Structure formats: structure tokens, C-alpha cells
Amino acid sequence: MTQSQTPDGMWLRCDGCGEILYRKALERNFFICMRCGHHFRIFPEQYIKIILDNGLKELDSDLAPSDPLEFPQYREKLAKARSKTGKPDAFSYGKGKISGRPVVFGVMDFRFIGGSMGSVVGEKIARSIRLARNKRLPLIIVSTSGGARMHEGMFSLMQMAKTAAELGLLRQAHIPYISIPVDPCTGGVMASFASLGDIIISEPGALLGFAGPRVIENTIGEKLPKGFQRAEFLLKHGFLDMVVSRRDLKETLTRILSILWPQKQDESGTL
């Protein structure tokens, strides 16, 4: 784990309670504030570490975006995001194991242009779904995104339909898909694959919704109440199965998979 991939510095201030926390201790605690339980935003590297047994065997890691609209400042933005994350775009996927069970696992990176979905993210999500269907492996995707990527115009919007369509086929094949939208997840990602899990799990305090809170405030002309669009709010309104502490995430996934998908090995034999 490099410095640039997590909140920087030896000491970090908690956004929840203002407490100053020692970074190493925080890391040992899944980046959950020891005092108030606030879940810090974490990135793909940490999710892979927390959820998978022995890391991710990544696929299509070289799939890279282009600039079909020749959109102002897009190439510069991509270059910057790439140097920040070391990745060509905002989604990684591949095979991995959860408590010994093989799965297809995917995770978004909010640092990469706000985790926005353009052609590459959409294509790789679609491929991860197809892989799960072809190999008959459960699919788990951790989503965090501001929505469709404006800079690729309609190519981005269509990725919503593309990913949802693939999930239609996965569903018909009776293979489980567990969606884990985390803070923040809004717009076109929430309005496509992130909302379509057989089971949907989030973390405490995560901001999840269709429209961003500022857009809603501008539309209705008033301030939104505290807790609006937070994970607990979605749970109350029936749009999440559960809100789980990051500490219990792997254990929860393991339990669910042991019931929905009791076979230890995929049907082709080895992973």
C-alpha cells in the first residue's frame, strides 16, 4: 500500500468526530474511527485486502480510455488520474477467493475522475459479469462513483444499459451478484448495476442516491435533513439489505455465499 493510495500522513483527523487518529492504528481498525465508528473512505487496495484471501488476479488491466468526443481537458484529466492511481481507469476486476470460495470480484476507484463510468468502466463491468456467468462464479462489486462520465458523452450513458443488460442474463443464469455500494455512490452507477444486486450491502454513513444532494437542494430550494441519502436512510426505505461495519464485511459475504453458493469450487474445477 503506497502513501498516495490512502489518506495521507501519519495522523489523520476523523471527519465524524474530529478526533486525531494515528494512521497505523486506524489501518489496523479497517479505517474505522476508534472513537466514533466513522468509516473513512478507502480505496481498491484496501477493499481487496479486507475482502479477498490472497489478493486479486486482475484481468483486462490494460484496457484504457480514449477520447471519442475530443472533449475539452479530458486527456489532461485522464493523465492526472492515471498518475494519481497508477491505473488507466476507475474499475479493476478479476478472480479472487473469499474464505476459500472462488468469486469474480470488482472494485471502483473514486480517485479516478470521481469513479465516473465511461466506456472502459462499463466494458470491464460487463466483462466481469460475463466472466461470472461463463465460469458460474458469484459476482461481488464494490461501487463508488459520481455517475456517468460526462467527457465521453452518450458513450458513457449507454454503459448503464450495457451493464444492466448483462446483469439480466446473469440473473437468468441464477448466479448470485452481491452489490456493495460505498461512500459515495450516486448518479448513473447507482441507477444501473450498483442497485441491481441480488443482495445489496453498504457501510455506515455512506452517501447513496440518484441525484447528488446539491442538485436536490437547488431543485427544491431548501436544505436537506441530516442523514438524507445515507446508507441508514436507504435501509429504512427498503433499498438496502443491510448496513454492515467494514470490520464484518468479509464475514457477512462468507455467510451469504455459504448459503446461496455452497459449492466450494467452480464447476470447471480449479480457479
Binding segment toward other proteins, per CB under 8 A, in 8-16, 78-86, 91-99, 164-172:
164-172
* CA 50 to each of CA 30, 94, 249: distance values in angstroms, whole numbers, following the listed order: 8, 16, 8
DSSP secondary structure code for residue 36 in this structure:
T
Q: Which of 79, 169, 173, 242 binds other proteins (CB under 8 A)?
A: 169
Residues of span 206-265 touching other proteins by CB under 8 A = 208-211, 215-216, 219-220, 224, 228-229, 237-239
Binding to other proteins, residues 64-123 (CB under 8 A): 64-66, 68-69, 71-73, 119-120, 122-123
Q: Which of 141, 140, 81 has its CA nearest to residue 115?
A: 81
Number of residues that bind other proteins (CB under 8 A): 61
Q: How far is the CB of 35 from other proteins (least distance, A)?
A: 30
* Window 132-151: residues binding other proteins (CB under 8 A): 148-150
Spatial separation of the C-alpha atoms in residues 158 and 197, rounded to whole Å: 19
Q: Using an 8 Å Cβ cutoff, are 147 and 185 in contact?
A: no
Residue 58 binds other proteins (CB under 8 A): no
Closest CA to 39 of 193, 202, 155: 202
Q: Rank residues 102 and 184 by Cβ distance to other proteins and give the closer one.
A: 184
Tell whether residue 157 is a contact of other proteins (CB under 8 A): yes
Return the closest-CA partner of residue 186 out of 227, 141, 146, 127. 146
Query: Could you give the angle at the alpha carbon of 188 between the alpha carbons of 185 and 189, nearest 5°?
Result: 45
What is the widest separation between alpha-carbon atoms in the chain? 58
Residues lying near other proteins in the complex (CB under 8 A): 62-66, 68-69, 71-73, 119-120, 122-123, 126, 148-150, 152-162, 164-169, 171-172, 186-188, 190-196, 208-211, 215-216, 219-220, 224, 228-229, 237-239
